[in-house]
Structure 1
Amino acid sequence: MKTISFKNKTVDVAANMFYPDNFNESQKYPVIICAHPVGGVKEQTAEIYAQSLSKRGFITVALDASYQGDSGGMPRYLEDPYIRVEDFRACIDYLNTVGYIDSDKIVLLGICGAGGYVVNAAIIDHRINAVIGISAVNVGDMFRLGWHGNEDNLQHQRQMLKDLANIMTLEANGSNQQFMPWAPFNPDDVQSSDLCSAYEYYRTDRAQHANAPSQGILTSSAKLLSYDAFYMADRYLTQPLLLIAGNRAESLWHSEKLINQAGSDIKELFLIDKAGHVDLYDLPQYVNPALEKITSFLQKYL
């Protein structure tokens, strides 16, 4: 593994690059960029996939989003979907300067909210040759429709934008910045098996990390509410697309929507039996089948 960094505009993006066994710098290798969930950091599930896939012959990169983890940028914990997408494109710029990277075999892999961001990146950047979403979530749809996808309340959404506008004005005049949790602070506060699992993952010894408080700037919600990671996927998402989700995940509706919407001739939704949303982050009985599927898919279509 080698620590690297590259620029996204003025921000230094931190990443770890993993190499296959018997790496030979004179050869060309396919590369997989692995992106962490909203509220996470590279050392969590993104690196589980990155390390495992590097042992299968790929060079892999796990990066921290701008304003998060070891990456630079102020204010901290900003969640800007457009900047997240530009992180990937800046990473591709960097990789195209590396002699042992096969620029015709660049793959994006995103988990949870990053599973939507990598799709958005592939829609606009066709240097990306294949896309993989693990428990993929379109974060804009999540804000508009709720975790289960059944809470479309336009009046509530409009009121949210008004409330956020007031908060932005207060913060501009010196009020303390407000934050929102990405994972619950108390599992008893939510009626969702997926979100209870998110609490266990981010806020217990299972996977908690000092760089990942699983919170974001509250006013980011205004931009997220109007964002659609799948916009124009029917027209411009033409690369091979693999979506992997648990058949018990309450977030499965995102993957089902995208698999129907995507313009790709090669697209597949692979369901893992008995798995929930967060199970695919780190539990070997669910991650290992996902890794096998990713490997076979890329060997066939990349």
Structure 2
Amino acid sequence: MTAKDNYIFDLSEKVTRTPVSYKTRYGIEVSADLYRPADFNENGSYPALVVGAPYGGVKEQGPGIYANELAQHGYVVLTFDPAYNGYSEGSPRHLSSPDVFVEDFMAAVDFIGTRPYVERAKIGAIGICGSGSFALSAAQIDRRIKAVATVSMYDISRMHKMGFGDSMSDADRAGFLDFVAEQRYADFETGRPGLTDRGAPIGFDENTNPIGIEFGEFYSTPRGYHPNSITQFTITSAPTWMNFALLDNLSWLDGRPILLVFGDDAHSRYFSEDVFKAASEPKEAYVVPGANHVDLYDKTDKVPFAKLNDFFAKAFG
């Protein structure tokens, strides 16, 4: 892993990767990677994709795998660490916010759309897991994003508000909000925000929640481990997600196509299925046989790269 500088994959000889940085409208400097075909021509005109990480993930994991593959199909691809996370700026560390994480996508479009070799009419977004909802939410209000593909999408605002499988009761929610209110006092007094438990437990076993095992097998083993991806956020981040819905304005996509990719064994598939029902045409759901939620982060034999390439090729004309 050291030889790869903590990237969980090997860079193709057909692709170049360049570290870049830029600021969001909040003034936070984002750490990003720009992937280009090895035969890239500075005077050319290329379609571009912005790829967001799973909620709790970083650019050296799944986003880089997607960029590494899609750059071989002739795309310029930008991956990035979310603000307050990874190598991006922002304090306190590991804060999360619907507005900030949606802004990350729009700031990525600012950057990639000002590269002279990128055709602005051909900029798309891919969101993996939680960033699927961020990409869709950004596209609702940023018409520069011409097409969106989500993979193993999580609606993070719905997850916080309703719990996994929409299982949170009103009483549970009230109790949790009381807990967070007390945590705010503690954070204020200590100046050190408390963090949630790891979403991907370390040392999991057969008694661990099955969803925790699935995430642990990726984030907490050599398969997907990255020191910046601790799968924890500040506890006091959660209420903001509960208070602001990400996907209430899908109709504003107004003819821009959506592709929803998910595994047939994914615990999260209901998020994608519900977006598919709510979204206007053109839209497509693509089910990957035998895949769970996390398989589509990194298993290149299961990720439908040909389908993604075909989707964006058609969307861009």
After TM superposition, the structure 1 = structure 2 runs for residues 258-269 of structure 1, keeping only pairs within 5 Å, are: 258-263=275-280, 265-269=281-285
The alpha carbon displacement at 1:236 in A equals: 4.2
Name the counterpart of 1:64. 81
- The aligned counterpart of 1:215 is 232
TM-score by length of 2: 0.90
2:201 matched to which residue of 1? Answer: 184
Supply the AA of the counterpart residue of 2:249.
Answer: M
Distance, in Å, in 2 between the alignment partners of 1:220 and 1:190 is 25
Q: Pick from 68, 75, 83: which aligns with 1:51?
A: 68
Q: How does 1:124-139 map to 2 (within 5 A)?
A: 124-139=141-156
**Kindly, what percent of the aligned residue pairs are identical?**
32
How far the C-alpha of 1:186 sits from its partner, in A, is: 4.5
Q: CA deviation at 1:4?
A: 0.7
Match in the other structure for 2:311: 297
1 CA distance for matches of 2:236 and 2:203?
A: 22
1:74 shift after superposition: 0.7
Instruction: Indicate which of 223, 227, 238 corresponds to 1:206.
Output: 223
Taking the aligned partners of 1:260 and 1:249, their CA distance within structure 2 comes to 18
Q: Give the direction of change, closer, same or farther, for the CA distance of 1:292–1:221 in structure 2 (3 Å limit).
A: same
User: How far apart in 1 are the matches of 2:299 and 2:112?
Assistant: 30
CA distance in structure 2 between the partners assigned to 1:175 and 1:84 by the alignment: 23
Q: What's the secondary structure of 2:19's corresponding residue?
A: strand
CA displacement, residues 52-104 of structure 1 (integer Å, 9 cap, x when unaligned)? 10001100011011111111111111111210111111121122321001100
Aligned pair partner of 1:248 in 265, 275, 284:
265
Q: What is the correspondence of 1:67-86 to structure 2 with a 5 Å cutoff? A: 67-86=84-103
CA contact (8 A) 1:122 1:131 kept: yes
After superposing the two structures, state which structure 1 stretch, 78-87 or 47-56, moved more: 78-87
Given candidates 270, 287, 291, the residue that maps to 1:271 is 287
Counterpart residue identity of residue 282, structure 1: D
Q: Structure 1, residues 182-237: CA drift from partner, whole Å, max 9, x if none?
A: 22334346432x43121010011111011111211111111122232211113445
CA RMSD of aligned residues (A): 1.5
Question: Structure 1 229/237 Cα, relative in aligned 2: closer, same or farther at 3 Å?
Answer: farther
- The yes-or-no answer on 1:239 pairing with 2:256 is yes
Q: How many residues align?
A: 297
Gaps of 5+ in 1: none
Is 2:98–2:157's contact at 8 Å kept on the other side of the alignment?
no
| Structure 2: segments with no counterpart, 5+ residues | 1-16
Counterparts of 1:25 and 1:85 in 2: how far apart (Å)?
29
1:4 and 1:242 map into 2 onto residues whose CA distance is 28
Contact 1:182-1:216 within 8 A present in 2 as well: no
Partner of 1:154: 170
Deviation, 1:175, is 6.2
Give 2:188's aligned residue.
172
What is the distance in 1 between the residues matched to 2:94 and 2:299? 26
Contact 1:11 1:72 in 2 (8 A): yes
Contact 1:65 1:71 in 2 (8 A): yes
Q: Secondary structure at the match of 1:173?
A: helix
1:130 Cα deviation after fit:
0.4
CA deviations on 1:162-197 (whole Å, 9 max, x unpaired) are 2211111221122642111222334346432x4312
Contact 2:33/2:80 (8 A) holds in 1? yes
Query: Paired residue for 1:99, among 116, 127, 133?
Result: 116
Q: 1:142 aligns with which of 159, 174, 188?
A: 159
Residue 30 of structure 1: which of 23, 37, 47 is its match? 47
Tell me, what secondary structure is at the counterpart of 1:280?
A: helix
CA contact (8 A) 2:19 2:33 kept: yes
CA contact 2:159–2:166 (8 Å) conserved in 1: no
2:195·2:235 contact (CA, 8 Å) conserved in 1? yes
